[in-house]
Amino acid sequence: MSQSIDTRTDRQVDVRTPAGETSGSVTLPGELFDADANVSLMHQVVVAQLAAARQGTHSTKTRGQVSGGGAKPYRQKGTGRARQGSTRAPQFAGGGIVHGPTPRDYTKKTPKKMKAAALRGALSDRAREGRVHVVSAFVDGDAPKTKTALATLNAVTHAKRVLVVLDRDDVLNWVSLRNVPQVHLIEAGQLNTYDVLVADEVIFTETALAEYVAGRSKGSELPDLATHVTPGGVPSIAPAEGEGTVETATAAEAPAKKAAAKKAPAKKAAPATPEEAAKAPVEQATAANAGPDAQAPAEDGTTNETTEEKA
């Protein structure tokens, strides 16, 4: 059963100095250092991390890929030996490999939230056992000193495997501890489940702890990076100076121009009496057969054709 966030408690850890003294204490947030340790989840994340570290370039040749061996080594019968068809068969020295490894990709996709949850579980397990420590620094001054850094480390723990977490700009402590064989250095943004589980003790510097707590290691949602238009604002499409101008109509002129351009054709009035309705098809057929040069009939039903036209 998962542990409720409300029941997670913060932990107080003393801060050690290079002089071997305690300069105060810091708080380890319960949401990061007092979470449930899901063993199956941590196993899945560690397996995926180790698989991603594999190159996958291993390759072998089958009997068809090995050069040579095209001729039958000896005749089929009469030798007393087992029949053979090629010296590149798997049973021969120098022959092909059966079911050997071929190049492949070992990468396994692991969601970010799963990685973050596994890391929280690993750190919480170490914190509950008192194996998470915090130091102000390993070296005083501006010059790296391995002897001083090692003395500070031994004042905190004598474990055989120690994971030291530094911030991204801490070059002084990095150079001071990089040659110590039992120490594995890592930047706070690269902290992972495998390194925490392999180490016996985990030591943070104050700045590295603050960087990790402030980072996105809790599996929270990423910010929305989509561009949003400000309400009431209109994006500018005007060209730069010297590149020409864009003629645009005013807000009052645009509807008037659209209305003038899109005038609907006038509709013919419907016939009022049955007699007019009966004459309408005949008039339409006559107008269609007359052609474009035909003249409209007069009120008495005749047209203004001349005598020559009638002839």
The pLDDT of residue 183:
96
Residue 194 backbone dihedrals phi, psi, to 5 degrees? -60, -50
What percent of the chain is predicted at pLDDT more than 90? 60
Please, what are the domains in the chain?
Answer: 5-54+107-214 (3.40.1370.10)
**Per mean pLDDT, which range of 164-168, 276-280, 290-294 is the poorest?**
290-294
* Mean pLDDT, residues 115-144 taken together: 93
Which pLDDT belongs to residue 198? 96
Q: Which residues pair with 127 in a beta bridge?
A: none
Tell me if the pTM is above 0.75: no
| pLDDT(3) > 80 | no
Structure tokens belonging to residue 247: 């003629």
Mean pLDDT of 289-299: 55
Backbone angles phi, psi at 21, to 5 degrees: -105, 170
Residue 133 has pLDDT above 60, yes or no: yes
State phi, psi for 185 to the nearest 5 degrees. -95, 140
Range of weakest confidence among 58-72, 114-128, 287-301? 287-301
Model confidence pLDDT, tens digit, residues 201-251: 999 999 999 999 998 544 443 333 333 444 454 444 444 455 544 455 555
What's the rounded mean pLDDT across residues 6-12? 81
The answer to whether residue 80 scores a pLDDT higher than 90 is yes
Listed range (9-18, 107-116, 200-209) with the worst mean pLDDT: 9-18
- CA–CA distance, 149 with 185 (Å, rounded to integer): 13
pLDDT in tens, 166-211: 999 999 999 999 999 999 999 999 999 999 999 999 999 999 999 9
State the pLDDT at residue 215.
Answer: 82
**Residue 187 pairs with which residues in a beta bridge?**
166
Residue 254 pLDDT > 70 = no
Stretch 269-284: mean pLDDT: 61
- Please report the pLDDT score of residue 216 as a whole number: 53
pLDDT value, residue 39: 96
pLDDT tier, 296 (very low <50, low <70, confident <90, very high otherwise):
low
> CA 307 → CA 243, 292, 301, 311, distances in Å?
69, 20, 17, 6
> Which pLDDT belongs to residue 21?
84
Residue 16, phi then psi, degrees to nearest 5:
-95, 150
The answer to whether the CB of 40 falls within 8 A of the CB of 46 is: no
Range in 8-12, 101-105, 261-265 with the lowest mean pLDDT: 261-265
pLDDT over threshold 50, residue 261: yes
- Residue 121 pLDDT: 95
